[in-house]
């Protein structure tokens, strides 16, 4: 019984982690991309990644679009979470459902629809258009995480602030938002990670100038398997780990503060 469990556990962990472990050393492979047994170590693919203007532009674009769309989604999500806070009733449930719907909508479908309206609004192949598109996809993440953070803010503490002379905007600014801040930042981080990884909507909405790292990787993977992909993948993993650690740290901080 115990042995079967152990073997099963190891197999599952191998299945889940194996791909990540395989992809890491490839970035430092001196040989070509597809040659798996490593032929020698080198940083040359990083040189390609950060030296090639196409890749460089795509990294910048990912940062710009990621930051701007996460900021937009966080702002809209935070406002709405504040408005919906502690409210019940059919309209509220419906609104919440619609706000979460972008999470479920297939990206291709949204891509087609957005391209249809962007043609009319003149937003096709613009940064603004791409940022808006990514923000739509990120809103469920920010809304959920800010809602959860607000739910843990004690109403009594806000009442205390009011009784001590703080008008409602001050209560919001000095008490509610600081207490919800870890949740807001978590939402932002999720949104950023989501934008970083977004390919499909970007294919529909971005012009050649708005090519993001993810889209660049997708094209390279599909069309010409440049070994710089492995370096890009490595960069991605490092970014993910940084984001993950930030997230865990925020959660930890929040728990400690509220304890």
Query: Which residues inside 77-116 make contact with another protein, applying CB under 8 A?
Result: 77, 79-80, 82-84, 87, 95, 97-102, 104-116
Contact residue for another protein among 3, 5, 53, 224 (CB under 8 A): 5
User: Is 164 one of the binding residues for another protein (CB under 8 A)?
Assistant: yes
Q: Which of 191, 206, 230, 250 binds another protein (CB under 8 A)?
A: 230
Return the residue of 53, 90, 163, 224 that touches another protein, per CB under 8 A: 163
Sign of CA dihedral 152, 153, 157, 163: negative
CB 205 within 8 A of CB 129: yes
- The reply to whether 238 sits near another protein by the rule CB under 8 A is no
Taking the complex as a whole, the smallest distance from the CB of residue 122 to another protein amounts, in Å, to: 14
Nearer to another protein, 52 or 197 (CB): 197
> What is the C-alpha to C-alpha distance for residues 183 and 254, in angstroms, rounded to an integer?
8
Shortest separation between residue 74's beta carbon and another protein, angstroms: 11
The Cα 125–Cα 207 span in angstroms is 4
Region from 41-49, 53-61, 63-71, 170-178 binding another protein, contact rule CB under 8 A: 170-178
Does the footprint of another protein cover residue 162 (CB under 8 A)? yes
- How many residues lie near another protein (CB under 8 A)? 96
Scan residues 14-33 and list those touching another protein (CB under 8 A).
15-20, 22-23, 26
246 binds another protein (CB under 8 A): no
Q: How far is the CB of 43 from another protein (least distance, A)?
A: 18
Sequence-separated (6 or more) residues with CB below 8 Å from residue 258: 152
For another protein, the binding residues in 142-161 under the rule CB under 8 A are 143, 154, 156-157, 159-161
CB-CB contact of 144 with 100 (8 Å): yes
Task: Provide long-range contacts, Cβ within 8 A and 24+ apart, for 65-68.
Answer: 65/127, 65/130, 65/131, 65/134, 65/195, 65/210, 65/212, 66/134, 66/192, 66/195, 66/196, 67/192, 68/127, 68/131
Q: Which residues contact 32 (CB under 8 A, 6 or more apart)?
A: 227
Among 40, 167, 208, 224, binds another protein (CB under 8 A): 167
> Tokens for 44?
């040359």
CA distance 128 to 119: 13
- Contacts of 153-158 with CB under 8 Å at 24 or more apart are 153/179, 153/180, 155/86
Residues 202-221 that bind another protein (CB under 8 A): 203-204, 214, 217-218, 221
CB nearer to another protein: pick between 30 and 237: 237
Min CB(181)–another protein separation in Å: 8
Residue 59 contacts another protein per CB under 8 A: no
Which residue lies nearer to another protein by CB, 208 or 222?
A: 222
Contacts of 131 (CB under 8 A, 6+ apart): 65, 68, 69, 72
């Amino acid at each position: 019984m115990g042995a079967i469990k152990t073997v099963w556990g190891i197999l599952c962990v191998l299945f889940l982690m194996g791909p990540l472990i395989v992809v890491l050393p490839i970035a430092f492979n001196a040989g070509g991309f597809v040659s798996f047994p490593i032929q020698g170590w080198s940083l040359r693919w990083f040189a390609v990644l950060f030296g090639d203007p196409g890749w460089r532009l795509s990294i910048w674009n990912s940062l710009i679009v990621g930051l701007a769309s996460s900021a937009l989604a966080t702002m809209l999500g935070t406002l709405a979470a504040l408005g919906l806070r502690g409210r019940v009733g059919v309209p509220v449930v419906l609104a919440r459902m619609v706000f979460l719907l972008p999470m479920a909508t297939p990206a291709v479908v949204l891509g087609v629809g957005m391209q249809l309206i962007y043609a009319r609004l003149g937003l096709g192949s613009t940064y603004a258009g791409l940022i808006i598109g990514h923000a739509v996809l990120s809103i469920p993440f920010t809304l959920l995480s800010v809602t959860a953070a607000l739910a843990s803010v004690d109403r009594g503490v806000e009442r205390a602030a009011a009784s001590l002379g703080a008008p409602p905007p001050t209560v919001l600014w000095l008490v509610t938002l600081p207490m919800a801040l870890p949740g807001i930042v978590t939402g932002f981080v999720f949104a950023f990670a989501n934008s970083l990884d977004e390919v499909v909507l970007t294919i529909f909405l971005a012009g050649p100038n708005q090519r993001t790292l993810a889209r660049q990787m997708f094209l390279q993977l599909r069309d010409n398997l440049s070994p710089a992909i492995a370096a890009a993948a490595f960069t991605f993993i490092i970014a993910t780990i940084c984001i993950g650690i930030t997230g865990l740290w925020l959660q930890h901080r929040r728990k400690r503060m509220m304890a």
